[in-house]
Amino acid sequence: MPAHDLVLCDIDGCLTPENPVVIDRRHLSLIAERNERAAAQGLAPVTLCTGRPQPFAELLCRLLANTTVPCIAENGVWLYHPGTNAYAMDPSITADHLRLVTELEGRLRADYGRFSAAIQPGKTASLSLYHHDHDWLVGVRDQIAALVQSRGWPLRVSMSWFYINCDLIHISKASGIRRLLEQHPHSRERLAGIGDTLGDLAIADSVGWFGCPANADERLKPRAHLVAKSHETAGVWELLQHLDGLG
């Protein structure tokens, strides 16, 4: 019997690089081949738990041959089932929430567009401000957090390496995992997770086993049962091989 029923994996910094370089097709193909034989061989299938927009997550699900389990996209805004093509936004998100996200987007474009910052396309009920210079993002993060606080908007402001993320306070990877488990019930002990940034603490807190690729934030690594020797996609493959040996 396999030790786990499902693997929840982040995208940026795990399955793909966050910086604009070529995807590791070799290891991504190995993960896809593993997903294809997961049911027959009693392996835990890999699905996604990501802040990336739903269309990106949908494409990666197809590349990973995941047709059986919904993925979590946009930090919990969306559940998308690649087998049935069903899209489900978190029902607690209201029209007022969508309006305030749109208002914030307009403000960030006006304030920071002239500095070559851009809003990541494709998000519905959150937004991510991109800039190629991490230090520049660090310099404006507190400005954005202060704006959100001054307006009383129920938004959480956080950072990854190339993005400042603004998400509804009550929506997160953790809320997405809870919704996923309502459809596909599994105990916490039967879930495994893989992540690389502090935003993936939501995954670590929701699973019985957690792993990190070698490139993970040093502050996250103490939460991992195993830190891979390899980076990014190769590291995920290394972690999956370890998991498959636990059964």
What domains sit in the chain, N to C, each tagged with a CATH number? 6-91+171-244 (3.40.50.1000), 95-168 (3.90.1070)
CA distances from 185 to 165, 179, 189 (A): 29, 10, 12
Residue 46 near residue 227 (C-beta atoms within 8 A):
no
* pLDDT for position 127: 97
* pLDDT for position 159: 87
19: nearest Cα among 196, 225, 239: 196
* pLDDT for position 20: 84
Partners of 9 in the β-ladder? 48, 194
* pLDDT for position 130: 96
Amino acid letter at 104? L
* pLDDT for position 6: 97
**How many Å apart are CA 150 and CA 223, to the nearest integer?**
34
What pTM was computed for the model? 0.94
Q: What is the block-wise mean pLDDT of the chain (247 residues), using blocks of 10 residues?
A: 90 92 96 94 96 97 96 98 96 98 98 97 97 97 98 94 94 96 93 96 97 98 98 98 86
Residue 48 near residue 11 (C-beta atoms within 8 A):
yes
* pLDDT for position 191: 97
Contacts of 76 (CB under 8 A, 6+ apart): 90, 167, 171, 172, 173, 174, 175, 176, 177, 179
Strands (E), the chain: 6-9, 46-48, 71-73, 78-81, 86-89, 118-119, 126-130, 155-159, 163-168, 191-194, 209-212, 226-227
**How many Å apart are CA 111 and CA 96, to the nearest integer?**
23
